[in-house]
Amino acid sequence: MTDIFKGMKPTRRSFLRGAAAAGVGAAAGGGAARASGDPAFAELQPWMQELGDPVDAAPYGMPSEFEAHVQRKTVYWLTADPISSINFTPLHELDGIITPNGLCFERHHAGAAHVDPALHRLMINGLVDRELVFTMEDLLRFPRENHVYFLECAANSGMEWRGAQLNGCQFTHGMIHNVMYTGIPLRLLLAEAGVQTAGKWLLAEGADASGMTRSIPMEKALDDCLVAFKMNGEALRVEQGYPLRLVVPGWEGNMWVKWLRRLEVGDQPWHHREETSKYTDLLADGSARRFTWEMDAKSVITNPSPQAPLTHGPGPTVLTGLAWSGRGTIPRVDVTLDGGKNWHKARMSGPSLTKSLHRFYFEFDWNGQPLLLQSRAHDSTGYVQPTKDQLRAVRGTNSIYHNNGIQTWHVSKTGEAENVEIS
Amino acid sequence: MSRFPDAAAALLAAALIAPAAFADEPAQGRDGGFGLGREASPEEVALWDIDVRPDGKGLPEGSGSVEDGEEVWSYNCAHCHGDFAEGIDRWPVLAGGEGTLANDRPVKTIGSYWPYLSTVYDYVNRAMPFGYSQSLSPDDIYAITAYLLYSNYLVEDDFVLTHENFAEIEMPNAPNFFMDDRAETEVPQFSAEPCMSDCKDSVEITARAVVLDVTPEDGEAGGGID
């Protein structure tokens, strides 16, 4: 064989030519003789016979072409333009707990900045003993840690306050991702600068054209925050803040400043635009909560869901979904098939890590009748995910942020799923 | 070599008895620090530290009038936010909306919602005009800030904003913000053991997404400014 193809690219055509020359062409169609109604058997498939891609075909590998529909998607009417905008993680196409880097939802306020790491600096200034500047090279010499954390935008499910609106968990719940970060504990960097006793707050600032800023209490900064440069083992993606981002576990995504360029220590919060005009929760009486940092426990059934209908008819089926809490782990998720008359404990599977997505399954035999599906997360503090009406009773419908209410999918007899609300 | 199989077996056994063994040993600091990085020069700090706080800390010296502000605004801002900051198309509305916060459709603007004037200075200075950040002088930003106060009926047309009178300006909605109180108002009532069986007699569908029909279809074209 190697003699025949020497110097040739093993494409389909060269193979056929080679095969014909060797007088074995007829044998290639031998599979057709196998009697079967299943197209997978009716013909010998090209991939069973011909050579696949060489190892240098894709130096950075991409998903199969049959998975091309698995994409982040945006909702164009949500924002004035696609630069200060958002797209959504296709949760219904994923399993396990880790979000692939290229599918992590994006939210930028001035587009995704392409920052040259050689020209990137992290400055620490303000109420510190030494105001410091670090290069990326300096940062790689600090001890680092690895942690899996979810990042959820505070506005995730924000379009659903007034009632069921978007048909698909990608759109209702897709402003979330869960990756393993490699980063430097923020406390080590702050110790390097020497935080003064009056230093109670930290301002994190990004290097993009929005100059994103958020005030973070020092207690949190010294607890579990990371200054991360890797996600899922590789460099941060451009749209996730390459080369450096802040990780603020369990707290709203806007605080996880991307393209992190500066940390200022101060004695009071800054009350910047993203903690006054935005990311404050307007209640029904016109007053507004500020500094609602923690993400409440939440869950969603990813399959079946409007973008992932039941196509197989009655019989065994796998219901699955995700649950998370900014306050800890998720020891338990309940699932109902009948709109909350009866609940069943779902089966948790995969690592149960604090402030990380958790995967649950509920396997059952579908009787072909309509279903009203809901999931309800319990977190390690004893908090139980509320219904949307319970939330509305406290907050009204204008708070945009922090909607962690229970989601309902109606599955019809034909298996289609729709976003609904129920009594 | 002879000990290797034993060691492997021991490791395997350990792995089996400790199923959720995720290594979590915190990275350690060092007394006196690692000596990494270098001192930031005062000039470098001044170049990057442009943030402004409600008490006025961070404001540069300068001033700007409503009149000057109207001009700077019309060149740099009006084509998105409107001549009177009323917002064109879908771009943010920055003026109006007083008294609407408890309405069914509240209009949150600088005048109706923002608690501090410093936020206007800080934000415009760091992030606007959209697509050409940090291109305006301190006097321009003071003037725009004065103009935005005027557009919100918070000052007269002869007003001049300076670093000296800045901290005196109070924003009308400041008292209506309060610290996150979910720990008291929500967590206790959302921490009860829930019902698991025969929880309700009947269930009705009360709202459906298809009625609104706003979910994007595959291949939908980009809307941009609509």
Domain count, chain B: 1
Q: Which among A397, A330, A337 has a CA at the least distance from the CA of A97? A: A330
Q: Does A341 contact B at CB distance below 8 Å?
A: yes
Residue A377 and residue A341 in contact, taking contact as beta carbons nearer than 8 Å: no
Nearest residue to A190 (alpha-carbon basis) of A222, A143, A224, A146: A222
Chain A's closest residue to B125, CA to CA, is A211
**Pick the residue with more confidence: A1 or A417?**
A417
**pLDDT at residue number B23:** 79
Residue of A nearest to B126 (CA): A211
Q: Does A155 touch chain B (CB under 8 A)?
A: no
Position B13 in a domain: no
Q: How far is A37 from chain B (nearest CA, A)?
A: 33
Point out the residue among B130, B133, B225 whose CB comes nearest to the CB of A211.
B133
d(CA B85, CA B62): 23
Average pLDDT score, chain B? 89
Q: Which domain holds residue B160?
A: 60-168
Is residue B104 in some structural domain? yes
Give tens-digit pLDDT for A15-28. Answer: 444 444 444 444 44
What is the distance between the alpha carbons of residues A23 and A386, in angstroms, rounded to a whole number? 71
Specify if B44 maps to a domain.
no
Q: Quick check: is B107 in a domain?
A: yes
Answer whether residue A106 shows pLDDT above 90: yes
A193 phi, psi to nearest 5 deg: -85, -25
- Cα distance between residue A17 and residue A13, in whole Å: 6
A134 has a pLDDT exceeding 60: yes
* Binary contact (B198, A421; C-beta < 8 A): no
A201-222 pLDDT, tens per residue? Answer: 999 999 999 999 999 999 999 9
Query: Can you give the pLDDT at residue A411?
Result: 98
Per-residue pLDDT at A188 exceeds 70: yes
Beta bridge partners of B39: A132
* Contacts A272 to B, Cβ<8 Å: 51, 119, 122-123
Average pLDDT over residues B36-64: 98
What's the helix, strand, coil split of chain B in %, to 5? Answer: 35, 5, 60
3-state secondary structure of A73: strand
Helix, strand, coil percentages in chain A from 3-state DSSP, rounded to 5: 20, 30, 50
pLDDT for the residue A80: 81
Report the alpha-carbon distance of residue B66 to residue B155 in Å, rounded: 9
Does the structure show a pLDDT above 80 at B7?
no
Tell me the per-residue pLDDT of A239-292, one tens digit each, with 9 for 90 and over.
999 999 999 999 999 999 999 999 999 999 999 999 999 999 999 999 999 999
Longest dimension (CA), chain A: 86
CB contact under 8 A, B187 and A383: yes
At B146 the pLDDT is 98
Considering the domain boundaries, does residue B162 fall inside one? yes
B178 and A143 in contact by Cβ < 8 A?
no
Residue for token digits 């008819």? A313
- The CATH number for B136's domain is 1.10.760.10
Using the structure block, give the residue that is written with the tokens 């390690």.
Answer: A380
8 Å CB contact of B37 and A132: yes
This complex has an ipTM of 0.89
- For residue range B173-203, what is the model confidence (pLDDT) as tens digits? 999 999 999 999 999 999 999 999 999 999 9
Q: Residue B149: inside a domain, yes or no?
A: yes
Q: Which residues make beta-bridge pairs with B186? A: none
The answer to whether residue B10 sits within a structural domain is no
Gap from B6 CA to chain A (nearest CA, Å) = 29
Residue B93 lies in a domain: yes
